[in-house]
Amino acid sequence: MKILVTGASGLLGSKIVRLATKKDHEIFSGYFNNIPDHGQPIKFDLQDKETIYHAITKIKPNVVIHCAALTDVDTCETNKTLTKKINIDGVKTIAEITSKLNSFLVFISTDYVFDGKQGNYRELDKTNPINYYGYSKLLGERIIAETNTDYLISRVSVIYGNKPASGKINFALWLINNLKNNRDVKILTDQFISPTFNTNLAEMLLEASEKRLKGIYHMAGASKVSRYEFAEKLADTFNLNKTLIKKVKLDDMNWKARRPKDTSLDISKAQKDLKMKPIKLDDALESLKEEIDIAQRNFD
């Protein structure tokens, strides 16, 4: 199968291409600034319809896994024009092309399509984003659903993994680095999430792509925790000093974009339909530790 992964230099995309190249697939790795280290690199700009069109029609992929996005929630709030171009218009172009080519489109969406008042969200629960990032991703979902293309929308929550990607560090690595260096960290006790290990998510997405699983799926980790509990579990797993983790509340934060309080996701539909199940946080953190240890050993 020919698979194009957009955002292949990112936290999720880089893991998908790494795992997919070990399988019997031909992998194309879409990027913008940072050349991906697996798959056949293919550069395009989601702001530029021509470059997207050229890249995808040349490949004629069976599946497009669309991970690329403007993902910084505060940047999305302050630069809505750029966010619209990348997260809304870019998705529209991709959906139009997959429709023409009869390719299967897998779109990575977010728990931030919800307002966070309820938690444990199921796929058909009412969406109501409270920031522009969530709004832009929800519009991407709607555009795909309205285009005549076979699609899967996978909503995920706070992704983490063993390596920095696309020039950024993820929450888990940020926390581990700070605690290792004996620095205090302020962590929210009143924001609830379903932390998602990129390896587990990438495996679910590849299985779903192979099966052409259609519709909306919540594909997150199987445990709901507060950011604070997540941080404590990370500290426990990596044997780090938990007293450096200081409690703060959402109201103490001075962010440009509002954050929803509880966007934990109910993953029972994915659990039912996939062989590769969403895993519990404790198991995911053990796997994360193994991946970091292996990477360290290979580097030493």
Ligand X SMILES: NC(=O)c1ccc[n+]([C@@H]2O[C@H](COP(=O)([O-])OP(=O)(O)OC[C@H]3O[C@@H](n4cnc5c(N)ncnc54)[C@H](OP(=O)(O)O)[C@@H]3O)[C@@H](O)[C@H]2O)c1
Which residues of this chain interact with ligand X, rule CB under 6 A?
7, 9-13, 31-34, 44-47, 67-71, 86, 108, 110, 137, 156-159, 165-166, 168
Q: Kindly state the smallest distance separating residue 70's Cβ from ligand X, in Å.
A: 6
Q: Kindly state the smallest distance separating residue 119's Cβ from ligand X, in Å.
A: 16
Find the helix or strand (DSSP H, E) in which 2 lies: strand 2-6
The two tokens of residue 288 are: 């994360």
Residue with nearest beta carbon to ligand X: 10
Return d(Cα 129, Cα 117) in angstroms, integer.
11
The two tokens of residue 35 are: 């050349």
Give the nearer residue to ligand X in terms of CB position, either 67 or 235: 67
Give the nearer residue to ligand X in terms of CB position, either 32 or 151: 32
Q: Kindly state the smallest distance separating residue 168's Cβ from ligand X, in Å.
A: 6
CB neighbours (10 Å) of residue 201?
Answer: 27
Q: Which amino acid is at 256?
A: K
Q: Kindly state the smallest distance separating residue 24's Cβ from ligand X, in Å.
A: 24
Return d(Cα 174, Cα 213) in angstroms, integer.
34
What residue spans of the chain are helical by DSSP H? 11-21, 49-59, 73-78, 80-83, 90-101, 132-146, 171-180, 198-211, 227-237, 268-273, 281-299
Give the nearer residue to ligand X in terms of CB position, either 34 or 128: 34
Q: Kindly state the smallest distance separating residue 11's Cβ from ligand X, in Å.
A: 3
Q: Kindly state the smallest distance separating residue 140's Cβ from ligand X, in Å.
A: 8
Distances (CA, A) of 173 to 193, 258, 271: 17, 24, 27
Q: Report phi then psi at 19, rounded to 5.
A: -75, -35
Give the nearer residue to ligand X in terms of CB position, either 33 or 243: 33
Give the nearer residue to ligand X in terms of CB position, either 50 or 239: 50
Give the nearer residue to ligand X in terms of CB position, either 59 or 158: 158
